[in-house]
């Protein structure tokens, strides 16, 4: 990851000008750097509960859907930093694990204002952030200049090593599936999510209740 502390850029800074200074950065990374500097936004790749629009908007009200993406070389897993269940969801949380075999994780790419980055970091306090290259697999009104299969550099989060294994609660799994269906993730990936085992906890987690409240609120506003 390249530090931008020594780079003075303005709204007129072009990708070509940046490229003269950083010759080893890929073109799509340069474009993202220029866009984020000018627009004050960043790309975020979600693969867990933040797949659902109403979930991500609870803590990150600026988030806008950009497209569906595929993160190659990773697999979806569940656990917790302490190897114990999450109080928020009464079960393991989703994470990504880098693997040496053919594997990929589908998710949603969101455009988020820089002002919400601290909110996202607080939400993912038990995770660490990283930059990943995500393959864009769908076009939206926010990605008209992109071509399918183009790589988009995104911020995402992963649990630290040694997370331990912890099955997700049925309610957490339900929110993930709601987000996957809402945003049109591939049918075979949705089938994969449906078949994931859960811990069979029947109590409604706090996180699930907050999502349901947001759904009710947004449905009420849209019906006015």
44 is in an annotated binding site: yes
The pLDDT assigned to 194 comes to 98
* Three-state SS at 137: coil
47 is in an annotated binding site: yes
Residue 124 catalytic?
A: yes
* Three-state SS at 123: helix
Q: Per-residue confidence at 82, pLDDT binned at 50, 70, 90?
A: low
Q: Per-residue confidence at 140, pLDDT binned at 50, 70, 90?
A: low
How open is the CA angle 97-200-190, to the nearest 5 degrees?
50
**Mean pLDDT, to the nearest integer, of 117-142?**
87
Q: 186 burial class (0-12, 13-18, 19+ CB within 10 angstroms)?
A: middle
Of 16-30, 120-134, 205-219, the poorest mean pLDDT is in 16-30
46 is in an annotated binding site: yes
Ordered DSSP codes for 48-104: SGGGSHHHHHHH-TT-EEEEEEEEETEEEEEE-TTSS-BTTTTBPEEEEEE-SSS-E
The active-site residue out of 54, 124, 150, 213 is 124
pLDDT at 178 over 80: yes
Q: Look at the domain 41-222 and name its fold.
A: Hypothetical upf0131 protein ytfp (3.10.490)
Note the pLDDT tens digit of each residue in 142-170: 444 444 558 999 999 999 865 667 899 99
Tokens linked to 4: 């931008």
166 is in an annotated binding site: no
**Mean pLDDT, to the nearest integer, of 4-15?**
39
Report whether 30 contacts 18 (CB < 8 A): yes
Query: Where exactly are the structural domains of the chain?
Result: 8-39, 41-222
CA gap 10, 208 in Å, rounded: 42
Tokens linked to 169: 């609660």
Tokens linked to 30: 């340069």
Residue with tokens 């003269």: 20
CB hemisphere CA count around 18 (13 angstroms) = 26
49 is in an annotated binding site: yes
CB hemisphere CA count around 209 (13 angstroms) = 7
């Amino acid at each position: 990851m390249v530090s931008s502390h020594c780079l003075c850029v303005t709204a007129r800074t072009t990708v070509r000008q940046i490229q003269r200074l950083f010759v080893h950065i890929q073109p799509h990374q340069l474009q993202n750097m220029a866009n984020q500097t000018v627009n004050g936004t960043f790309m975020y790749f979600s693969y867990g509960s933040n797949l659902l629009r109403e979930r991500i908007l609870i803590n990150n009200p600026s988030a806008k859907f950009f497209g569906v993406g595929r993160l190659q070389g990773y697999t979806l897993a569940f656990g917790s930093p302490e190897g114990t269940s999450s109080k928020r969801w009464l079960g393991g949380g989703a994470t990504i694990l880098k693997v040496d075999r053919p594997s990929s994780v589908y998710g949603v790419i969101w455009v988020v204002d820089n002002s919400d980055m601290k909110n996202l970091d607080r939400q993912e306090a038990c995770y660490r952030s990283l930059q990943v290259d995500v393959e864009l697999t769908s076009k939206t009104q926010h990605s008209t200049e992109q071509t399918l299969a183009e790589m988009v550099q995104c911020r995402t989060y992963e649990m630290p090593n040694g997370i331990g294994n912890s099955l997700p609660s049925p309610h957490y799994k339900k929110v993930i599936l709601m987000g996957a269906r809402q945003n049109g993730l591939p049918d075979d990936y949705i089938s994969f999510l449906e078949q994931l085992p859960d811990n069979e906890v029947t109590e409604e987690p706090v996180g699930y209740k907050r999502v349901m409240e947001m759904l009710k609120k947004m449905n009420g506003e849209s019906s006015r």
